[in-house]
Amino acid sequence: MLNIALFGPPGAGKGTQSEFLIKKYNLFYISTGDILRRELAEETKLGLQAKHIIAQGGLVSDEIIVQIIEKTIKNNPDANGFLFDGFPRTFVQAYILEGLMIKLNTKLDLLISIEVPEEESVNRLLLRGETSGRLDDNEEVIRNRLREYDEKTKPVLDFFKERGNYMAVNGVQKIKKVTSEIRKAVNKVLARKQLNIVLFGSPGSGRGSLGRAIAEKYKLEFVSTGDMIDEEILRGTTLGIKAKELYENGELVPDEMVIQLIERKIENSKKAKGFIFKGYPRTLVQSYILDGILKKHDTIINKIIEIKVDTLEVIRRLDNRSKTEACMPYDTSTEKIVKRLQEHQEKTLPVVDKYREFHDVAVVDGTDEFDKVMDLVSTEIESSFKALD
């Protein structure tokens, strides 16, 4: 997802720049002003509540704004991203926006402030008033709107300056020049965005080989916590020695140790186009840990794939594997296989359901032969890369 907010006084050219941004980045446009005007024209309860305030150039209550924004976002669950025009306009709305983004498991990528001096705004709005038919495009109301902007909206900039997702552009230049500066800033944000995939699937679903192949094909870092622990053991590191002891006693490697490994991997792969996680998160606790780690590195999960294979087929595959050289220590008996499948069912499936609340989980049928499944997974991934383009 790519989420942008356009900021600036009335008449700064937010509407004009929106047209470019919507088309170029395939964003869903949310202009609170437009929505309010529509409500007003349709004489809805909300429109009637807001009419008087809009006519005077005041700001409509945050209570009304949160309702219209939430409704619009909810009605567009498949949006590639949102472009906010005229929102947030108060400190409270800045917090509302943060909350909404968290709910969608995304964030505001950029707030673009188009800067225009007061007299220029007034002149532009008076000119617009000659044709716009808007009841608030007359000098007295314009001055009020600008006062509201100075007093209530401008201070909101500090909120975003602190978060580092803010850019200012001089709005008194040729439209094309403003657009080009905005395009550069957005492209920079896009270049930093990573594609982070979590690959779910029961043991024997093929997630290991698929994960590795995907990582290679799309130049992503493959994060398999199991492999990472094995490597530590092989290298005889302090962590490896501890992990080996735990393995030998039949205990699980504690989350604290796994966190260190993932953190290190992410730290060492700053340039990566993204990560593909396999075998992690396996529990609800781990899913919160992963969200936390990614947040710390200013990134998020943006694709979840679940490989589905019928249980009987999975048992058949694991049983077959146990008779080959690829046999893993945990494949050696029916008891162990059943235990792993049960763990997956009881602990990991709830994690997939948790993600389902906020993400669109792509379910891929993993029954077919490897290449065919790989094609299905690739299609899913390519659609996500497109969303980042």
Could you confirm whether 339 is annotated as catalytic?
A: no
Half-sphere exposure of 138 (CA within 13 A, CB side): 7
Which residue is associated with the tokens 């991203």? 81
User: Please, are residues 3 and 80 in contact by the beta-carbon 8 Å criterion?
Assistant: no
Name which of 53 and 185 has its Cβ closer to ligand AMP. Answer: 53
> Residue with CB nearest ligand AMP?
33
H or E element that contains 85: strand 82-85
Cα–Cα distance measured from residue 74 to residue 272, given in angstroms and rounded to the nearest whole number: 32
- Residue 315, CA distances (Å) to 60, 311, 312, 350 in order: 61, 6, 5, 21
C-alpha–C-alpha distance, residues 72 and 67, integer Å: 9
**How, if at all, do strands 82-85 and 221-224 pair?**
unpaired
**Residue 303 bears catalytic tag:** no
Distances (CA, A) of 294 to 96, 196, 266: 22, 9, 9
Nearer to ligand AMP, 124 or 193 (CB): 124
Residues 333 and 35: their CA atoms lie apart, in Å, by: 63
**Residue 288 Cβ vs ligand AMP, minimum distance, rounded to whole Å:** 32
Whether residue 134 lies in the annotated active site: yes
Catalytic residue among 51, 128, 244, 354: 128
Q: What gap in Å lies between CA 249 and CA 218, rounded to an integer? A: 38
Give me the least distance between CB of 168 and ligand AMP, in Å please. Answer: 19
What pairing do the DSSP bridges indicate for beta strands 303-308 and 361-365?
A: parallel
Instruction: State yes or no: is 264 an active-site residue.
Output: no
Kindly tell me the burial class for residue 246, based on how many C-beta atoms sit within 10 Å of its own C-beta (0-12, 13-18, 19 or more).
middle
Query: Smallest distance from the beta carbon of 37 to ligand AMP, in angstroms?
Result: 7
Distance CA 114, CA 11 (A): 10
As measured in angstroms, the least distance from the Cβ of 233 to ligand AMP is: 56
For residue 114, report the phi and psi dihedrals to the nearest 5 degrees: -95, 115
Sites of contact with ligand AMP (CB under 6 A): 10, 32-33, 36, 53-54, 57-60, 65, 86-87, 89, 93, 136, 145
Write down the catalytic residue from 37, 51, 107, 134.
134
Task: Please identify, using beta-carbon distances, which residue of 136 and 221 lies nearer to ligand AMP.
Answer: 136
Give whichever of 93 and 287 is closer to ligand AMP, judged by the CB atom. 93
Name the minimum Å distance from CB 27 to ligand AMP. Answer: 17
Q: Does the annotation mark 89 as catalytic?
A: yes
- Could you tell me the smallest distance in angstroms from the CB atom of residue 383 to ligand AMP? 32
What's the one-letter identity of residue 124?
R
- For ligand AMP, give the closer residue by CB, 138 or 268: 138
Cα torsion 158, 159, 162, 164 to 10°: value is -100
Q: How far is the CB of 26 from ligand AMP (least distance, A)?
A: 22
Residue 366, CA distances (Å) to 65, 202, 317, 360, 373 in order: 45, 10, 12, 18, 6
Of the residues 124, 145, 278, 282, only one is catalytic, namely 145
Of 53 and 341, CB closest to ligand AMP: 53
Closer by beta carbon to ligand AMP, 93 or else 205: 93
The residues annotated with a catalytic role in the active site are: 14, 89, 128, 134, 145
